Structure 1
Amino acid sequence: MRAVRVTDQRVQFDADYSAQTRSDCVEVEVIQAGVCETDLQLIRGYMGFEGVLGHEFVGVAKSGRFAGERVVGEINCACRNCPTCDAGLPTHCPHRSVIGILNHDGAFADTVWVPEENLHAVPDSVDNDNAVFTEPIAAAFQIPFQLNLSGYQSIVVLGDGRLGNLCAQVIAAHGKSPLVVGKHVEKLKRLQKLGISTRLLDDVEESRFADLVVDCTGSPSGLLTAFQICVPRGTIVMKSTFAGETGPNLAPLVIDEFTMVGSRCGPFDKAIEALAQKQISVTDLITARYSLEDSIIALETAQKKDQLKVILNVQN
């Protein structure tokens, strides 16, 4: 099959990839896949991953209870038998593989193999352009799942990229008025059209005004900015992952008694419901489309500052 894989931090398109079929998974024929910042970091060496990239997708299940239906899939493939899984934390299973990220080939291919319990049917009212955003929207919904947003008065989302945009929309859908701080005028304009307040990073006053800061910058500098604008005993949610050593000075964490919350994957059912009810606007985030054969160009394009979501059309 066709696939896009990374080896030794080099990415290549393989027109005849010998995929390893998985008897414990459902074969899903990929329709579309989205390029994520995590994909770009994996190419740079994050997680030491080698294999087929891609974890944001919509496709058609070839077997099982969803056979013939469009599906999206949660990315953590847990063992379902260990104490962590028994405690209701399968996304943290120590034996898990992660689609397109850890010991599991991903969706930048004709086919991806997904455990049936990870699959969710896509309603007819949600088209492919919307459905392909399910995974990052679910990640954004993890924030209100972890925190009671009603207790915060001033919420700042750092980063005007793909995930920052979605996190801001989800927070707004929960009745709050987040401020998105970013570096790119055009990306901030997209948020302004949705009624979300924005500010350029250079225009942010050197004062502490936020009691909740969500870091979606994808950069080590994001945490430093969060330290500078978060009030003492405020909360900082970390959404960023990146390759390389970070090593920020954590003294402010102690001095100002911040609460740090790591936040990763989230509830797919909430994301699908929000898409079906048109609570979240995503199609304006699509800035480029490529065929699977042009995936190398697609990944290069996704790294450009003016891009938001690059889509791979696996099936034409």
Structure 2
Amino acid sequence: MKALVYNGKTAEYRTDYPKPVPKERESLVKILLAAVCNTDKEVLAGYKPDFTGVMGHEFVGIVEASDRPELIGKRVVGELNQACGHCIYCKTGRPTHCSTRKVIGLNEKDGCFAEYMTIATELLHPVPDELETERAIFTEPLAAAVELTTQVHFDVKKNCAVIGDGRLALMITEVLSLYGMDLTVIGHHMEKLERFAPYANVTTEGEPEGYEYVVDATGRAEGLKSAMRYVRKKGMIVLKSTYAGDAKINMSEVVVNELTIVGSRCGPFEPALKLLKRRLIDLPEIELHELADYENAFSSRAFKAGFRFD
């Protein structure tokens, strides 16, 4: 089958990759759409040096075989993290931090940049009939944006800044705007910031120590330094960026200013699907490519790029 495979150094387009066979408690999914995430780009930059295999973790597909017969023929999206179920993190309600988890397209498990993939059935979520495939493809990144609200009790009377003007920043801004908060988005490109204007104040230069909450969605190491500059004393920084490399800050400032720093990544799929179904989140259309055209998909400046499988 056709697949985009990371060989430890670069991506390879192949037409001879073996079609996967589902194991016990797994389903076989025929991929309809798959989307490129910034994390996929970071894999090529060395973010996951030990990973080899089919890339990709954002998808919409149709179940062709499953240990749950009611799923066969259904459109589905799927979560990333396959947990063991018996380690300390699984037993204490933190399965996305399972000590031996497999992560599709990132760790010990082939991903969705292929015609077919297998996935633990428990990770699948049916797509509502009313929700178009081209919108359902945003479920995974939107879930990551929703995760903020499960980790932080936002005081809606306080203000918040989101740093970044990309895809994740827009989803986070739209989710937080549903709270009616005083929001400011700080970015570099005014043409991108125009998308944020219906939901927040926009600027290319934030106010130093101007915000009680600061969310870093830049995808860059510099984002943490910017967040440190913008957050108020005793304020909170939420980090959503993943990237290859390290970020350096003066930790004494964290102590002296009594800051709270929260890391945040994967999130709940069901609320994300409901938000998309009810059209409470407005997103530009995905730009679709053939899998063989992966280089253009990865370098695209569109809001979201991905692959269509016929």
Q: Same fold (TM over 0.5)?
A: yes
Question: What SS does the corresponding residue of 1:260 show, helix, strand or coil?
Answer: strand
Question: What SS does the corresponding residue of 2:228 show, helix, strand or coil?
Answer: helix
Shift of 1:289: 1.8
Which residue, 59, 62, 79 being the options, matches 1:60?
62
When normalised by structure 1's length, the TM-score is 0.92
> Residues 34 and 113 of structure 2 are in contact (CA less than 8 Å); yes or no, is this contact kept in structure 1?
yes
Question: What SS does the corresponding residue of 1:149 show, helix, strand or coil?
Answer: coil
Alpha-carbon distance between aligned partners in 2 of 1:215 and 1:133, rounded to the nearest angstrom: 20
Alignment partner, residue 251 of structure 1: 252
Question: What SS does the corresponding residue of 2:235 show, helix, strand or coil?
Answer: strand
Structure 2 matches for 1:177-256, cutoff 5 A?
A: 177-192=182-197, 194-200=198-204, 203-205=205-207, 207-256=208-257
Question: What SS does the corresponding residue of 1:62 show, helix, strand or coil?
Answer: strand
Alignment partner, residue 86 of structure 1: 91
What runs of 5+ residues in structure 1 fail to find an aligned partner?
none
Question: What SS does the corresponding residue of 2:253 show, helix, strand or coil?
Answer: helix
> Residues 177 and 199 of structure 2 are in contact (CA less than 8 Å); yes or no, is this contact kept in structure 1?
no
**AA paired with 1:9?**
K
Shift of 1:195: 3.4
Question: What SS does the corresponding residue of 1:261 show, helix, strand or coil?
Answer: strand
Alignment partner, residue 146 of structure 1: 151
After superposition, what is the alpha-carbon deviation per residue over 1:191-234, rounded to whole angstroms, capped at 9, x for unaligned?
12x3332111xx334x2110100100011100000000100110
Alpha-carbon distance between aligned partners in 2 of 1:275 and 1:140, rounded to the nearest angstrom: 13
After superposition, what is the alpha-carbon deviation per residue over 1:258-284, rounded to whole angstroms, capped at 9, x for unaligned?
1010101111010001011111112x1
> Residues 134 and 285 of structure 2 are in contact (CA less than 8 Å); yes or no, is this contact kept in structure 1?
no
Shift of 1:20: 4.5
After superposition, what is the alpha-carbon deviation per residue over 1:70-117, rounded to whole angstroms, capped at 9, x for unaligned?
000011011122232121111111111011111111111101211111
Alpha-carbon distance between aligned partners in 2 of 1:151 and 1:164, rounded to the nearest angstrom: 19
Alpha-carbon distance between aligned partners in 2 of 1:285 and 1:258, rounded to the nearest angstrom: 38
Shift of 1:250: 2.5
When normalised by structure 2's length, the TM-score is 0.94
After superposition, what is the alpha-carbon deviation per residue over 1:129-151, rounded to whole angstroms, capped at 9, x for unaligned?
11000000000000011111235
Of all paired residues, the percent bearing the same amino acid is 37
Shift of 1:23: 0.3
Alpha-carbon distance between aligned partners in 2 of 1:211 and 1:242, rounded to the nearest angstrom: 25
Cα 1:152/1:118, change in 2 over 3 Å: farther
Alpha-carbon distance between aligned partners in 1 of 2:88 and 2:199, rounded to the nearest angstrom: 44
Tell me which protein shows more helix as a share of its residues.
Answer: 1
Shift of 1:285: 5.3
> Residues 152 and 211 of structure 1 are in contact (CA less than 8 Å); yes or no, is this contact kept in structure 2?
no
Alignment partner, residue 314 of structure 1: 309
Alpha-carbon distance between aligned partners in 2 of 1:108 and 1:274, rounded to the nearest angstrom: 26
What runs of 5+ residues in structure 2 fail to find an aligned partner?
none
Alpha-carbon distance between aligned partners in 1 of 2:87 and 2:8, rounded to the nearest angstrom: 32
CA RMSD, Structure 1 to Structure 2 (Å): 1.5
Alignment partner, residue 30 of structure 1: 31
Alpha-carbon distance between aligned partners in 1 of 2:99 and 2:157, rounded to the nearest angstrom: 33
**AA paired with 2:201?**
S
Matched, 1:12 2:12: yes
Moved more, 79-88 or 95-104: 79-88
Matched, 1:105 2:110: yes
**AA paired with 1:36?**
C
Question: What SS does the corresponding residue of 1:46 show, helix, strand or coil?
Answer: coil
Cα 1:98/1:50, change in 2 over 3 Å: same
Alpha-carbon distance between aligned partners in 2 of 1:253 and 1:152, rounded to the nearest angstrom: 24
